Amino acid sequence: MWLKAYLDITVRRPTWAKVADILIAKAAASTRPKTGIDTRINTFTQNWDVSARRAKGLPEDLRRMIMTAKKYGVCCETRNPGLEIRNELPVWHHLQEKAGRSTANSEASICLRERHGVTTVIQCLRIAQRLENGENNHRKNNKCKCYECDRDRRTMGCLNPHRCVIAARKMIAKIKMKWNPEGRANDDGLTLTRRRKEANKRAEENKGRIIFDPSMKQEGPIANALRVFVKDRDKLQTAALRPRKSYGVEGEEVEVFTDGSCVKNGLDGASAGSGIWFGDGDARNASERVPYETQTNQVAEIHAITMAGEKVPPFAPLHIVSD
């Protein structure tokens, strides 16, 4: 329960967990570059490790908590992180920072932390975007007098705002695409809009047809992306996105009925099967034994849908009727 409460990185997070962050940051393993404690926000949302050695002085309760987390593979991992999660992650010691020399100790980085108050990716991105925002008249030199740079000098005491802008842009560029807020999203038009999702809710209430949303992503806050029992081989380096379509042809709509069942469901010796039906005498009608080790009714239902998808061209709208 201690670990669960500690990982609840929301407004409900207990005060003791915030104190624990400071104590854990002081017990960082010596394998990371020597940076100030202000760069270590949370070991589970950043790329730095904690030493569980007693010599590090970590209180015994916290030491056991960290050892438990390591034992059961607790980490921040998701197949496709949503924009809120990408933005909220700490930008220092980022989870997926590209290989190369750390710039966390550079003069500009220190200024970003101490004067600009940069902690998260979104805070860093807002500063970096001055380079692309033509409306603010930013000039690429240390004498820039645009509104933001002038404000930074007057209110934050930043001596060279443009240098900090360049440093912020480089930090964003070092984040790998899976977690980068400027990374590619599904752009093939299949992702459901807000109106389509609302229409789905009404259709579900009226037992009508629901349009499947193929864009599965983990929405925020960060706590939603924390997982347990994660091994290194399970971590994806790239986001689980659909490949871009290489064609613009759309076929005729296809309707298929799918079903799955299981004998002795949930018991030893269970046997599951799946079936698909496109219509009387249709050559695509098929049934088969579920080819996986897990034999359950739910697996059979999912396998039936997979069978149907393999029988239909990828560009044809597919209506699946299933219970």
Cβ atoms < 10 Å from Cβ of 222: 23
In sequence order, the β-bridge partners of residue 286 are: 276
112, two tokens:
């970003």
- Mean pLDDT throughout 165-191? 89
**Is residue 10 over pLDDT 70?**
yes
| CB burial readout 3-19, b (16+ within 10 A) else e | beebbebeeeeeeebee
**Is residue 135 over pLDDT 70?**
no
Closest CA to 287 of 265, 272, 299, 270: 272
8, two tokens:
């609840």
| Strand ranges, E, within the chain | 75-76, 226-227, 254-263, 271-277, 286-289, 318-321
The per-residue pLDDT for 15 is 93
Report yes or no on whether pTM surpasses 0.85.
no
- Mean pLDDT throughout 203-226? 88
Q: To the nearest 10°, the Cα dihedral for 281, 285, 286, 287?
A: -90
Distance, CA of 165 to CA of 201 (rounded, Å): 44
Of 247 and 68, the one with more pLDDT: 68
Highest mean pLDDT pick, 101-110, 124-133, 248-257, 293-302 = 293-302
Q: What is the mean pLDDT of the chain?
A: 88
The per-residue pLDDT for 316 is 80
Closest CA to 180 of 99, 98, 271: 98
- Mean pLDDT throughout 190-206? 89
The per-residue pLDDT for 306 is 94
The per-residue pLDDT for 77 is 92
